Structures are given as structure tokens and as C-alpha cells.
């Protein structure tokens, strides 16, 4: 029996392929359930030609008209929430509740940037010359390539496409091959909302076969990438030689700190939500936990009790499942103690038990390297000074949280922890669409995503002076 297929959007048309990529449900990976086109290098090059033509039309369109189209796309995403959430569950393994929130947040992005697209796009500047009006204006870059991962298959494309389109750019989107259908639903909403041909395109294909065509096209003005550090660094170097603007959101090794005086039950619930939501497959997930020695013995049982309540969905693939289990096994070999969980769940799905490790030291791989799964490593610290030092002792700088009843400790943590996102008495995840998002150091580039800051990446500044005297 032939599998169902989904076509991809290229140059304003929905196209199939001579070859297809299988898509699997991580809850049961014995057989694929769907296929998407495996585009060729030649088709990718044609997509860039269409995107260039689409950009000329889109940038000339009044910003108010563009905003109306984005607002309509937002409305369509809300109307289709149940269908799109079902696709996220099927291809990614998120719970239905997590998937519905993701679909709603994607709509939020287009609603927000539809508003941003109606706001001022420049400013006037004083000039010493008489009879001269000087200022600057922001303009779109051109064709933007967006490369997105499998862990947030709808939110991450929305986070990139909404500001890129609001600024007047055309976009070529390359979603992860494990989770392409969410991106196709997003493209369908934008297409149905009236985005002109070539402005939004989705490349589904095998990276090894199309990477040169995808990355080397001279029409690329900017690349926004979310994914692993190794690939991100290779892209940064590759694109720098051509002067292509590059934005990256990379890995994290996020820490939460529980200090003496914190509300321990609330801290335990928040840490577990941050560590194990989406089965730990979030860049902002808490994977390191530092507990003040004064409250450690009282806190750990509360933490374990919260973890025992969990029923996690699958990881995205067998490969990811094997990777997470290998991290746990290595941690045990290096001396960590499994307090809870510790292995894969047998069956047709890609499940790993929620795992809590104690006896972890700073030199263990599980404390240093991103696991990207339901694994929480716990260490004891003595007070705030030692906690801040331990939080910063990493090459990453994405997110950190502190749980405390001390306003002074909260302000010191905010001032001294070198991360792009700081939380006090709440989880390391959960940033909203209008709040700038991004990390420091090896967690990403200086360009922030979300909020008004995102428009800085997707625009260039043109300064002008007009002499109106005789």
C-alpha cells in the first residue's frame, strides 16, 4: 500500500518529487506514515530564482498590505490549530497539550509581527547643515535562508519567518527532515493568506544531496540557523567569506540554582517542568541543577517525587534515543549515581525514562555536554558565590534560573551570570514572542530573535540627507 504524501511549496506552486523522504512517528518507528518530496539540487536553485522574483514583488508592496497578509496567516493558524497540532504530535512526539501550545504560539508570532510591520521603520537625525533633512530608514535584505531543527518544528520556523516577512524579505525554509510537515502546514497558511509566489518556499530534501545548492547560491542575503554547535560554527565560517549575514541559536547547558530560603516545593515543580518538558528536547531545558547544601537533603526527595509523576512522550528518533542513553551510560561509568530512571523504555517508540543523576562532578561529560533529552544532573554547592561560579563554568550561555527568597541574591544572579536569559523563581523556558530571545558565547550569535530586536537582523539601515534650500 502506498503511503500518503505532502507536497512542498516552491515558487508559489505545490510540487511533488521524483524521490521521497519517509517521515516516522517517534511513538512507533517500525514503519513510516507519510512521505515528503526529496528535492534535487536543480530544484533548489530554481527555488532561489523564484525567491528573488518574489522578493521584488513583496518589498514593493505597502507594509500595511504585507501586515494584513501576516495577520490573515495568523488567523488561519488559529483556525487550523487542531490539525496542525496533530501533525506536530505525529512527527515530533510532543504531547497534544504541548503541540496545541506550539501551534498557538506560531500564530502569536505572525499576529505580533503583523503589528510590528505597521510601526515606524526609521528616524530623523539633526543635521548641522541648513535646509537639510537627514535621517535613516530600515530596508529588507533580500532572500533569507532559514534552517530549522526538529525539536520545535513549527515555532522555530514561525520565529524566523514572521519578522523576515514583516521586514519585506523573501524566505527559503529548510526544515529538519525528521519533522517537515509542520513547516508545510505553516507554508500552507501563508500561501492561503495571499503571500505572493516565491516569497515563501520550503525545501524538503536530503541535506547531503542539496547542501551546496542550498548554501552556495549567490542570491542568499542572510541565513538564520537553529541547531547544533558543530554545524552552526561550520556555517558561520562558510558564510563569512561571502559577507552573508548570519544568525544562530545553538546549544545550551542551562543551570537552575536552588538556594537556602527558597520555596522548595515550588522550586521542585518548576525545575522538573524546565528539565523534562518536551522530554528535555528544548534548547532552554534545565540540564544542570545546583542545590545549596543547607537544603539539599530536604529538596532532593521533593524533586524525585515530582519526576515520578511524569509520563513523557518519545524522543524524536531512534538515533536521538541512542544518543541520550549513551550520555547516561557514560555518566555512570564516570561515577554518577542514577537516582531515578536511567534507561530506554522497550517498545516500538523512542522513549527514555526521566533520569536524575547525583554524585555529578564538574569534570563529567554529562555536566559539560548538551544531552538534549530527559536527563537532569545534580550537584551540591555552598552558597550563592559558588553557585554563580558553577553556572558560568561552561562554554554555553543561553539560560539560567535561581530560586531564592532574597532580592539581593536575585539581583546578584541577574548581574553576574553570563547568560542571555535569566529567570528568578520560575523556569528557564517559556519566553513569549515579544520578548527578545538568544544566548551568549557558544549558545549563539549576537543577533537576538523575537521581539523588536529580531528586526535588526532582517533589515539594513540606509541613511539619507535631503537638501531642500535654493
Residues serving a catalytic function are 249, 283
The alpha-carbon radius of gyration of the chain (Å, integer) is 23
Length of the chain (residues) = 470
Q: Rounded CA gap, 392 and 257, in Å?
A: 12
CA dihedral 456, 462, 463, 464 (to 10 degrees): -140
Q: Got the DSSP string for 105-162?
A: HHHHHHHHHHHHTTS--EEEE--SSTTEEEEEEEEE-SEEEEE--SSSTTHHHHHHHH
Q: Which grid cell is 166?
A: 514583516
Find residue 133's DSSP bridge partners.
466
Contacts 24+ apart (CB under 8 A), 447-455: 447/247, 448/420, 449/159, 449/160, 449/163, 449/224, 449/247, 449/249, 450/159, 452/116, 454/159, 454/163, 455/116, 455/138, 455/163, 455/166, 455/167
Decide: residue 136, CB within 10 A, 0-12 exposed, 13-18 middle, 19+ buried: middle
User: Scanning the structure block, which residue is given the C-alpha cell 528568578?
Assistant: 424
CA dihedral 341, 342, 346, 348 (to 10 degrees): 90
In sign, the C-alpha dihedral spanning 200, 206, 208, 209 is: negative
Count of H-run helices and E-run strands, the chain: 15, 21
Residues 6+ positions from 466 with CB-CB distance below 8 Å: 132, 133, 134
CA distances in angstroms from 461 to 45, 127, 137, 141, listed in the order given: 28, 18, 6, 10
CA distances in angstroms from 336 to 30, 254, 364, 365, 384, listed in the order given: 33, 19, 8, 10, 24
In sign, the C-alpha dihedral spanning 24, 26, 29, 33 is: negative
Residues 6+ positions from 17 with CB-CB distance below 8 Å: 8, 36, 37, 38, 39, 204
Q: Rounded CA gap, 325 and 328, in Å?
A: 5
DSSP state of 402: E
Q: Rounded CA gap, 8 and 37, in Å?
A: 7
Helix, strand, coil: what percent of the chain each, to 5? 40, 25, 35
Amino acid at each position: 500500500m502506498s503511503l500518503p504524501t505532502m507536497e512542498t511549496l516552491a515558487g508559489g506552486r505545490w510540487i511533488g518529487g521524483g524521490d521521497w523522504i519517509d517521515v516516522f512517528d517517534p511513538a512507533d518507528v517500525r514503519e513510516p506514515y507519510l512521505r515528503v518530496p526529496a528535492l534535487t539540487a536543480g530544484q533548489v536553485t530554481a527555488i532561489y530564482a523564484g525567491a528573488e522574483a518574489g522578493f521584488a514583488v513583496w518589498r514593493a508592496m505597502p507594509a500595511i498590505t504585507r501586515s494584513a497578509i501576516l495577520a490573515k496567516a495568523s488567523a488561519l493558524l488559529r483556525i487550523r490549530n487542531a490539525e496542525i497540532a496533530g501533525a506536530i504530535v505525529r512527527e515530533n512526539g510532543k504531547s497534544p497539550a504541548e503541540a496545541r501550545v506550539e501551534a498557538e504560539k506560531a500564530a502569536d508570532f505572525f499576529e505580533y509581527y503583523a503589528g510590528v510591520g505597521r510601526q515606524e521603520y526609521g528616524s530623523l537625525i539633526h543635521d548641522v547643515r541648513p535646509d537639510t533633512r537627514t535621517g535613516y530608514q530600515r530596508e529588507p535584505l533580500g532572500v533569507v535562508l532559514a534552517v530549522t531543527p526538529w525539536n520545535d518544528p513549527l515555532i522555530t520556523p514561525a520565529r524566523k519567518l514572521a519578522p523576515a516577512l514583516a521586514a519585506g524579505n523573501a524566505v527559503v525554509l529548510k526544515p529538519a527532515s525528521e519533522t517537515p510537515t509542520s513547516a508545510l502546514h505553516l507554508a500552507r497558511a501563508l500561501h492561503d493568506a495571499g503571500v505572493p509566489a516565491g516569497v515563501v518556499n520550503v525545501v524538503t530534501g536530503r541535506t547531503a544531496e542539496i547542501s551546496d545548492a542550498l548554501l552556495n547560491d549567490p542570491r542568499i542575503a542572510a541565513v538564520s540557523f537553529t541547531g547544533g554547535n558543530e554545524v552552526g560554527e561550520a556555517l558561520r565560517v562558510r558564510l563569512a567569506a561571502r559577507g552573508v549575514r548570519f544568525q544562530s541559536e545553538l546549544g545550551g547547558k542551562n543551570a537552575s540554582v536552588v538556594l537556602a530560603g527558597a520555596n522548595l516545593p515550588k522550586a521542585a515543580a518548576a525545575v522538573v517542568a524546565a528539565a523534562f518538558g518536551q522530554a528535555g528536547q528544548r534548547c532552554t531545558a534545565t540540564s544542570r541543577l545546583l542545590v545549596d547544601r543547607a537544603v539539599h537533603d530536604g529538596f532532593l526527595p521533593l524533586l524525585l517525587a515530582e519526576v515520578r509523576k511524569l509520563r513523557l512522550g518519545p524522543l524524536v528518533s531512534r538515533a536521538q534515543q541512542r544518543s541520550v542513553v549513551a550520555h547516561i551510560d557514560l555518566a555512570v561509568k564516570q561515577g554518577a549515581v542514577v537516582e531515578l530512571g536511567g534507561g530506554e523504555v522497550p517498545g516500538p517508540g523512542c522513549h527514555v525514562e526521566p533520569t536524575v543523576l547525583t554524585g555529578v562532578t564538574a569534570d563529567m561529560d554529562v555536566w559539560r555536554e548538551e544531552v538534549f533529552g530527559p536527563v537532569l544532573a545534580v550537584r551540591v554547592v555552598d552558597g550563592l558565590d559558588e553557585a554563580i561560579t558553577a553556572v558560568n563554568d561552561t562554554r554555553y550561555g543561553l539560560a539560567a534560573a535561581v530560586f531564592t527568597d532574597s532580592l539581593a541574591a536575585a539581583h546578584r544572579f541577574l548581574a553576574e551570570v553570563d547568560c542571555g536569559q535569566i529567570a528568578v523563581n520560575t523556569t528557564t523556558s517559556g519566553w513569549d514572542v515579544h520578548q527578545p530571545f538568544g544566548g551568549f558565547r557558544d549558545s549563539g550569535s549576537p543577533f537576538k530573535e523575537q521581539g523588536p530586536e529580531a528586526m535588526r537582523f532582517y533589515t539594513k539601515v540606509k541613511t539619507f540627507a535631503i537638501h531642500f534650500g535654493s
